[in-house]
């Protein structure tokens, strides 16, 4: 079969909703796009542990501490599911970790913002995980089999993250004036970065929508962002708080909320490495990796020693 | 084939906008842990089913890691792990000739046989 025929039969499979599996023929660009997207997603889960890990030792109660630990452990697990999915596309775990630690690979910019107060743990769960879930629910139906399966597993676990976040804020919203102020302040700081999580506007894109054609993605950035805004604008009423956007209002004609302009300059600045915490996050990842080197080596040495012993016994 | 995927997606920040440094790759030489496939029995009486994969230095660590990553919410009562290199798979390119012969043997299915309605318990 010629490459052209292979491409046609590949697209036919996609069109008839047949998942692509690791050993199937796929266009090189499909492989690369998936690899980049899945590994970035994995890196986001791993770096995403850092802003929350910051609060484990300072959680206000044992219950909140146990919840936060469980959540951070989930993020590590999600990173692993995704790294495994990316590995099926022909890269190694070491390569991906190296690309993250060197700053070559990207992760979601949202994790380059600092978590300044306990209320941030609530805002991160509600807004950041909430935004991530919309994307992840869509990705449960992505065309690459291993990615879709990882997403199904992740979505099952992610719902607790968002609910505990909202509940954390709900408790604060019924608290003292200081607690209510803290709650509103966290929402003010996390709102706009959360909207940026969906990526640039659809109109920024000039090329044909290849990822949609390949069904890697099934909704555009703007569609997902609007869905998120409509959802949050209603939920916030239950908190008795406000979203920091004077232009946010219901549009009966569109049946959606209108909203103000996102600061794209800030978005690109953070992507390019100039966010409040980019350097600190990478430094922390590198430190953890370097300080864990002896553990990885010792485990290999131990495995080799045991293997030798078994071999000697058999001889 | 050279399709440029330019659309920016969540979790898919394009290369041309990358920042940061690009120092030497320090980790490529590292002695890496082998890959293992994980199979979980969700409850007694059911088959073990493939759940995913992970890296571990040996089988004992693979089982412990599998417990930590794949059964945090009581997903299983039993785990199998096997080093991925020991799994042999059929080739998808051969799928047509490999599985096609089964397609024209409809007589292997009970519905192929037309029996009078009077025949009971069959």
CA distances from A31 to A35, A41, A78, A151, A155 (A): 6, 15, 21, 18, 23
Q: Count Cβ–Cβ pairs < 8 Å, chain A vs chain B.
A: 151
Residues A217-245: what's their mean pLDDT?
96
Chain B interface includes A274 (CB < 8 A): yes
Chain B interface includes A226 (CB < 8 A): no
Angle separating helix axes A177-196 and A221-239, nearest 10 degrees: 170
Query: Which residues of chain A does B63 touch, with a Cβ-Cβ cutoff of 8 Å?
Result: none
- The DSSP code sequence of A192-249 is HHHHHTT-S-GGG--S--HHHHTTS-SS-HHHHHHHHHHHHHHHHHHHT---S-TT-E
Which pair of tokens denotes residue A81? 């599911």
Contact: B91, A104; criterion CB under 8 Å: no
Residues A187-212: what's their mean pLDDT?
86
Q: How confident is the model at residue A9 (pLDDT cuts 50, 70, 90)?
A: very high
For the entire predicted model, the pTM comes to 0.87
What is the per-residue pLDDT for A204?
Answer: 81
- Asked if residue B32 belongs to a domain, the reply is yes
Shortest distance between the Cα of A182 and any Cα of chain B, in A, equals 29
| Structural domain that includes position B28 | 15-87
The predicted-structure confidence for B15-46, as pLDDT tens digits, reads as follows 443 333 333 333 333 468 999 999 999 999 99
- Asked if residue B28 belongs to a domain, the reply is yes
Q: How confident is the model at residue A249 (pLDDT cuts 50, 70, 90)?
A: very high
Contact between residue B43 and residue A230 where contact means Cβ atoms under 8 Å apart: no
Percent of chain A residues past pLDDT 70, beyond the cut: 99
Residues A18-31: what's their mean pLDDT?
93
What is the per-residue pLDDT for B1?
Answer: 42
For residue B13, is pLDDT > 60?
no
- Asked if residue B112 belongs to a domain, the reply is no
Chain A interface includes B102 (CB < 8 A): no
The predicted-structure confidence for A60-94, as pLDDT tens digits, reads as follows 999 999 999 999 999 999 999 999 999 999 999 99
The predicted-structure confidence for B38-67, as pLDDT tens digits, reads as follows 999 999 999 999 999 999 999 999 999 999
Closest residue in chain A to residue B26, using alpha carbons only: A98
- Asked if residue B33 belongs to a domain, the reply is yes
Long-range Cβ contacts of A275-279 (<8 Å, 24+ apart): A275/A109, A275/A112, A275/A113, A276/A112, A276/A113, A276/A114, A277/A51, A277/A111, A277/A112, A277/A113, A277/A114, A278/A112, A278/B20
Contact between residue A111 and residue A44 where contact means Cβ atoms under 8 Å apart: yes
What is the per-residue pLDDT for B103?
Answer: 79
Contact between residue B81 and residue B69 where contact means Cβ atoms under 8 Å apart: no
For residue B11, is pLDDT > 60?
no
What is the per-residue pLDDT for B8?
Answer: 38
Chain A interface includes B81 (CB < 8 A): no
Residues A105-128: what's their mean pLDDT?
96
Contact: B6, A207; criterion CB under 8 Å: yes
Query: Which residues of chain B does A153 touch, with a Cβ-Cβ cutoff of 8 Å?
Result: 52
Contact: B11, A108; criterion CB under 8 Å: yes
Chain B, window 22-51: residues with a beta carbon less than 8 angstroms from a chain A beta carbon: 22-23, 25-28, 30-33, 35
Nearest to A243 by CA among A130, A135, A75: A130
Chain A interface includes B7 (CB < 8 A): yes
Chain B interface includes A234 (CB < 8 A): no
Closest residue in chain B to residue A197, using alpha carbons only: B10
Q: Which residue has the higher pLDDT, B32 or B79?
A: B79
For residue A35, is pLDDT > 60?
yes
Nearest to A113 by CA among A48, A40, A208, A29: A48
Q: How far apart are CA A22 and CA A88, in angstroms?
A: 6
What is the per-residue pLDDT for A287?
Answer: 97
Q: How far apart are CA A41 and CA A105, in angstroms?
A: 10
Q: How far apart are CA A82 and CA A154, in angstroms?
A: 9
Q: How confident is the model at residue A205 (pLDDT cuts 50, 70, 90)?
A: low
Percent of chain A residues past pLDDT 90, beyond the cut: 87
Looking at the structure of chain B, the number of domains it has is: 1
Tell me which range, A20-24, B58-62, B90-94, is most confidently predicted by mean pLDDT.
Answer: B58-62
What is the per-residue pLDDT for B24?
Answer: 36
For residue A14, is pLDDT > 60?
yes
Q: How confident is the model at residue A3 (pLDDT cuts 50, 70, 90)?
A: confident
Residues A105-126: what's their mean pLDDT?
96
Q: Which residue has the higher pLDDT, A262 or A205?
A: A262
The ipTM value here is 0.85
Q: Which of A73-77, A157-161, A251-255 has the lowest mean pLDDT?
A: A157-161
Residues A282-304: what's their mean pLDDT?
94
| Other Cβ atoms within 10 Å of B107 Cβ, number | 8
Burial, A112: exposed, middle or buried (Cβ in 10 Å; 0-12, 13-18, 19+)? buried
Q: Which of A194-208, A210-224, B85-99 has the lowest mean pLDDT?
A: A194-208
Closest residue in chain A to residue B21, using alpha carbons only: A103
Please give the mean pLDDT across all residues of chain A. 94
- Asked if residue B10 belongs to a domain, the reply is no
The beta strands (E) that lie in chain A are given as 249-251, 256-258
Contact: A104, B17; criterion CB under 8 Å: no
Shortest distance between the Cα of B114 and any Cα of chain A, in A, equals 33
Residues B81-92: what's their mean pLDDT?
89
Burial B17-36 (b: 16+ CB within 10 A, else e): eebbeeeeeebeebeebebb
CATH number of domain containing B36: 3.10.20.520
Closest by Cβ to B17, choosing from A29, A271, A300 = A271
Chain A, window 246-265: residues with a beta carbon less than 8 angstroms from a chain B beta carbon: none
Closest by Cβ to A103, choosing from B11, B20, B92 = B20
- Asked if residue B74 belongs to a domain, the reply is yes
Q: How far apart are CA A65 and CA A44, in angstroms?
A: 22
- Asked if residue B83 belongs to a domain, the reply is yes
Chain B interface includes A44 (CB < 8 A): yes
Closest residue in chain A to residue B92, using alpha carbons only: A24
Backbone angles phi, psi at A314, to 5 degrees: -70, -30
Sorted by sequence, the CB contacts under 8 Å of residue B115 that are 6+ apart come out as B122
Chain B interface includes A77 (CB < 8 A): yes
Q: How far apart are CA B37 and CA B51, in angstroms?
A: 8
- Asked if residue B63 belongs to a domain, the reply is yes
| Other Cβ atoms within 10 Å of B90 Cβ, number | 10
What is the per-residue pLDDT for B15?
Answer: 43
Cα dihedral A147, A153, A157, A158, rounded to 10, equals 20
Q: Which of A131-140, B12-21, B86-95 has the lowest mean pLDDT?
A: B12-21
What is the per-residue pLDDT for A126?
Answer: 97
């Amino acid at each position: 079969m010629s490459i052209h025929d292979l491409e046609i039969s590949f697209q036919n499979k996609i069109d008839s909703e047949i998942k692509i599996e690791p050993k199937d023929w796929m266009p090189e660009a499909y492989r690369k796009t998936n690899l980049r997207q899945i590994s970035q997603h994995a890196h986001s889960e791993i770096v995403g542990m850092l802003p929350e890990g910051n609060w484990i030792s300072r959680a206000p109660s044992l219950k909140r501490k146990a919840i936060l630990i469980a959540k951070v452990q989930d993020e590590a697990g999600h990173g692993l599911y995704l790294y495994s999915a990316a590995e099926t596309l022909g890269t190694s775990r070491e390569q991906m970790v190296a690309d993250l630690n060197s700053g070559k690979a990207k992760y979601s910019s949202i994790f380059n913002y600092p978590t300044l107060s306990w209320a941030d743990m609530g805002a991160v769960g509600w807004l950041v995980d909430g935004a991530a879930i919309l994307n992840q629910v869509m990705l449960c139906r992505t065309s690459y089999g291993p990615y879709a399966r990882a997403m199904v597993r992740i979505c099952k676990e992610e719902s607790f993250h968002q609910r505990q976040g909202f509940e954390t804020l709900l408790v604060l919203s019924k608290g003292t004036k200081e607690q209510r102020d803290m709650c509103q302040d966290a929402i003010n700081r996390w709102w706009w970065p959360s909207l940026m999580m969906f990526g640039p506007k659809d109109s920024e894109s000039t090329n044909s929508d290849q990822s949609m054609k390949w069904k890697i993605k099934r909704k555009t950035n703007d569609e997902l962002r609007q869905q998120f805004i409509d959802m949050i604008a209603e939920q916030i009423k239950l908190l008795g708080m406000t979203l920091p956007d004077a232009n946010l209002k219901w549009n009966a004609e569109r049946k959606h909320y209108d909203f103000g302009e996102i600061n794209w300059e800030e978005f690109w600045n953070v992507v390019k490495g100039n966010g409040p915490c980019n350097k600190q996050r990478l430094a922390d990842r590198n430190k953890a990796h370097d300080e864990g080197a002896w553990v990885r080596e010792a485990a290999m040495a131990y495995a080799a020693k045991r293997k030798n012993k078994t071999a000697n016994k058999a001889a | 084939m050279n399709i440029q995927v330019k659309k920016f997606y969540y979790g898919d920040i394009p290369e041309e906008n990358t920042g940061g440094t690009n120092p030497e790759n320090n980790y490529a030489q590292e002695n890496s842990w082998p890959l293992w496939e994980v199979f979980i029995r969700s409850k007694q009486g059911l088959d073990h089913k493939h759940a995913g994969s992970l890296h571990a230095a040996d089988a004992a660590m693979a089982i412990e890691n599998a417990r930590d990553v794949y059964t945090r919410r009581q997903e299983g009562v039993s785990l199998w792990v096997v080093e991925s290199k020991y799994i042999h798979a059929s080739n998808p390119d051969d799928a047509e000739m490999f599985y096609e012969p089964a397609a024209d043997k409809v007589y292997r299915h009970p519905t192929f046989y037309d029996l009078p309605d009077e025949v009971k318990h069959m």
